[in-house]
Chain A
Amino acid sequence: MRYIILFCWICIFPFAGYSTEVVAEKVLQKADSLFQLADYQQAGIWYDKAAYLSVDNVQKTHALMRKGDCYLMRSNYAAAEQCLSRITYYGLNDSMQYAARYKTALSAYLNSSFENAESQILQLRAFVSDTLLSVNAYPLYALILNESNRWTEAKEVLLQYISSSGSSAEQKQQMKQEVEKMYAGASIPRLKDVEKAKKLSSIIPGTGQIYAGYWGEGILSVTLQAVGLGITGLGIWKQYYASGVLIGFSFFQRFYMGGITRTEFLAQKKNYTLKRNFNNSRKEFVLKLLPN
């Protein structure tokens, strides 16, 4: 019996090299070497091959994450997001799940898919039981919230992150003060109400543009509309009724309607500028907090 078992072992041994796990591991090594050579497209293909050959979900997830890295290195954020969406989270431990969800959220953020990015962070918070790990995603979460104009929530998230960081009490205090200063009520952008701007322009021409912060355009708009009405009045006074009413009033009406449309555009432009200026200036600070 002992020899039969021995014989079986001898028979099984040569097949060890055929194991898909071993082959996948070799493919992964090849992909790593290509990645180091900065051949990201080929590396991505080999990582995908490793994912294809892997039976173990951890190895498969690792390979897909590395493929995501290849896309990120090529600045192809949409492809990175799509590739990472192929990860299945069944059977992954906390650190692996954190890494995968974090990378997916980062790709989605870079691809301007802020809803998906936030969804990944929320799932990360829900499914990664180790809060010391999940809190590391908070700086990215703050960046995502900034883009959704939810600055108060972003501030809270950053404060939570600083509280749980390993910095000294003094450093924490300093960072918290910086966050409080950056997100103080006065510095948070006061976005213009687009509908209100339109209403203002329809009631008193030019005021919508002025409300949106464009004084010059507001004054020009009201002047042109006054000229239109002036032509109308002049035409009636000089008894050129058709010329006065039709040309003058058409002139006024064109600028009146155009002024409302322009106001909408200007209010949106102002909001975009305010948001970008605020978010860009905060991004630098938040990026320093991001874990490596």
Chain B
Amino acid sequence: MRIKLIAAVSTIVWFAMCTPAMAQQTDSTKTVSDELQFIDYLINNREFDDALVLLRQPELLTKANTDQTDSIHYLLGWTFYNMKQLDSSIVYFKKISPTSPAYIKGSYYKTFELLYSGRYAEAEVAISNLPVQDSLQQELRLFQQSTGYLLQKKYSLFDSAAAQFTYTNFACATEQKNLFTYRDELKKVKQRSPVLAGVFSAVLPGSGKLYAGYKGQAIATLMPCVVFGAVAVENYIKDGPKDAKFIAAASVFSIFYVGNIWGSVMSVKTIRTQRNNEIYNSILLDLHIPLRRIFN
């Protein structure tokens, strides 16, 4: 009898204790930490728009404590990074406080994004403030710093920073070695003179393009000049300088001739930018790989 009584009382006590707990449980799916875990799941499943909708709920920030606020900023930065909206990503990575576990990853990704966006001055400041807790992070920091110098073509600074590489870490050793190849390739990009290209094209149409490095375009530029030049000469010899056919042919020739000189001057800059961009793209790709190896 006594045992039955104990059982009945226990039942009542349990119900009394658990009713509010159950109500709270229904609500618990809405708690910040649960919500953040769910948002992380959404990001992992590439549901970025949905993640942003949840992260931008005003009540999420209101309810969050300091750690959770950092997590929100990290997740916002990470979502924008995945959506390739680097400017927004940088803004949120910057907001993560140094005490947060996400601070290190956020800082290194932020530096990458600054370098990628060509914001070198800000990147240098970010690199100098990068947290370094172990030899791997030291290597990564040096790697990002060297890459920054290389992208700005500060070769002496690059050399002194890269001299400190130890190549002991698999995560970035290959990419560290590649930087030297890129440095050599960047140095090899020929510094052609636009004035000289113009002079060449004035003497022989198309030769300025050849000097700049566009072989195919040189012939394409030469042809109309030769055609209209020859026609103008022929008409001049046969009908004299006042003949309409000569004036028409000479006018068209002049347009092509001047265009050929201007085009050669511009092509020097174009080909240099094009070649530099090819190398920069390889450098930026390599800058990304160690980050993914280390943090993902």
Given known pairs A14-B14, A41-B50, A48-B50, the reply for A6 and B7 (CB within 8 Å) is yes
A90 at interface, CB cutoff 8 A: no
Question: Among the listed stretches B68-76, B198-206, B226-234, which one makes contact with chain A, having 4 or more residues with CB under 8 Å of it?
Answer: B226-234
Q: Hey, which chain A residues are within 8 Å of B233, CB to CB?
A: 242
Q: How distant is the Cα of A80 from the Cα of B122 in the complex, in angstroms? A: 39
Please provide the 10 A-B residue pairs with the shortest distance between their CB atoms, ordered closest to farther. Answer: A14-B18, A242-B234, A17-B22, A242-B230, A246-B227, A3-B3, A243-B231, A45-B50, A10-B11, A52-B41
Instruction: Tell me, yes or no, whether A272 is within 8 Å of chain B by CB.
Output: no
The distance in angstroms between the C-alpha atoms of A269 and B175, with both chains bound, is 47
Smallest CB separation, B47 vs chain A (Å): 6
* Residue from B29, B42, B54, B234 within 8 A of A241 (CB atoms): B234
The digit string for A202-243, where 1 denotes a CB below 8 A from any CB of B, is 000000000000000000000000000000000000001111
A contact residues, total (Cβ < 8 Å): 31
The CA of A112 and the CA of B50, in the complex, are separated in Å by: 24
Which residues of chain B have a CB within 8 Å of any CB of chain A?
3-4, 7, 10-11, 14-15, 17-18, 21-22, 25-26, 29, 38, 41-42, 45-47, 49-50, 53-54, 226-227, 230-231, 233-235, 238, 245, 249
CA distance A3 to B2 in the complex (A): 11
Of all chain B residues, which has the CB nearest A243?
Answer: B231
Chain B, interface SS category: helix
Find out whether the CB atom of B53 lies under 8 angstroms from the CB atom of A243.
Answer: no
Cα–Cα distance between A27 and B28 once the two chains are bound (Å): 12
* Docked CA distance A10–B17 (Å): 13
* A52 touches which of B26, B38, B227, B245 (Cβ 8 Å): B38
Provide the bound-state CA to CA distance between A52 and B44, in Å.
Answer: 12
Tell whether A286 is near chain B: CB-to-CB under 8 Å.
Answer: no
Give B32 Cβ to nearest chain A Cβ, in Å: 15
User: Which parts of A30-84 form the interface with B (CB within 8 Å)?
Assistant: 41-42, 44-45, 48-49, 52-53, 79, 82-83
Q: A242 — which chain B residues lie within 8 A by C-beta? A: 230-231, 233-234
* Residues of chain A contacted by B26 (CB below 8 angstroms): 17, 23, 26
In the complex, what's the smallest C-beta–C-beta distance from A245 to chain B, in angstroms? 9
Task: Write 23 A-B pairs (CB below 8 A) sorted by A numbering.
Answer: A3-B3, A3-B4, A6-B7, A7-B10, A10-B7, A10-B14, A14-B17, A17-B22, A18-B22, A23-B25, A23-B29, A27-B29, A41-B49, A41-B50, A41-B53, A42-B53, A45-B50, A241-B234, A242-B233, A242-B234, A243-B245, A243-B249, A246-B230
A243 and B7 contact, CB distance less than 8 A: no
CB neighbours (8 Å) of B4 from chain A are: 3
Docked CA distance A11–B17 (Å): 11
With known contacts A3-B4, A6-B7, A14-B15, A49–B234 Cβ distance under 8 A: no
For B29, the chain A residues whose CB sits under 8 A away are: 23, 27, 49, 53
Are B7's CB and A7's CB within 8 A?
Answer: yes
Q: Nearest chain-A residue to B249 (Cβ)?
A: A243
Report the nearest B residue to A20, measured CB to CB: B29
Contact of A246 among B7, B17, B231 (CB under 8 A): B231
* Contact (A82, B231) CB under 8 Å given A49-B29, A52-B41: no
Is the pair A49, B38 in contact by a Cβ cutoff of 8 Å? yes
Asked whether A48 lies within 8 Å of B234 as measured between CB atoms, the reply is no
A247 contacts the other chain (CB 8 A): yes
Q: How far is the CB of B155 from chain A (nearest CB, A)?
A: 45
Name the distance in Å between A42's Cβ and chain B's nearest Cβ.
Answer: 8
A168 to nearest B CB, angstroms? 47
Q: Cβ of A167: which chain B residues have Cβ within 8 Å of it?
A: none
Chain B CB count within 10 A is highest, among A26, A42, A242, for A242
Tell me the minimal C-beta distance from A239 to chain B in angstroms.
8
Q: Which residues of the partner chain B approach A6 to less than 8 Å between Cβ atoms? A: 7
Contact check, A11 vs B42: say whether CB atoms are below 8 A apart. no
Digit string of A80-112 for contact with B (CB within 8 Å is 1, else 0)? 001100100000000000000000000000000
B235 touching A243, Cβ below 8 Å: yes
Docked CA distance A42–B54 (Å): 9
A44 to B48, CA, bound (A): 12
Report how far A225 CA is from B14 CA in the complex, Å: 97
Chain A residues with CB under 8 Å of B238's CB are: 240
- How far is it, in angstroms, between the C-alpha of A14 and the C-alpha of B16 when the chains are bound? 10
Q: In the complex, what residues of A have CB within 8 A of residue B234's CB?
A: 240-243
For the complex, give the distance between the alpha carbons of A27 and B7 in Å.
34
Closest residue of chain B to A247, judged by CB?
Answer: B231
**A17-B22, A240-B238 known; A44+B50 contact, CB < 8 A:** yes
Question: With A7-B7, A27-B29 known to touch, is A250 a contact of B41 (CB < 8 Å)?
Answer: no
A46 to chain B, nearest CB (A): 10
Q: Residues of A contacting B47 with CB < 8 Å?
A: 48, 83
Task: Name the B residues within 8 Å of A86 (CB-CB).
Answer: 45
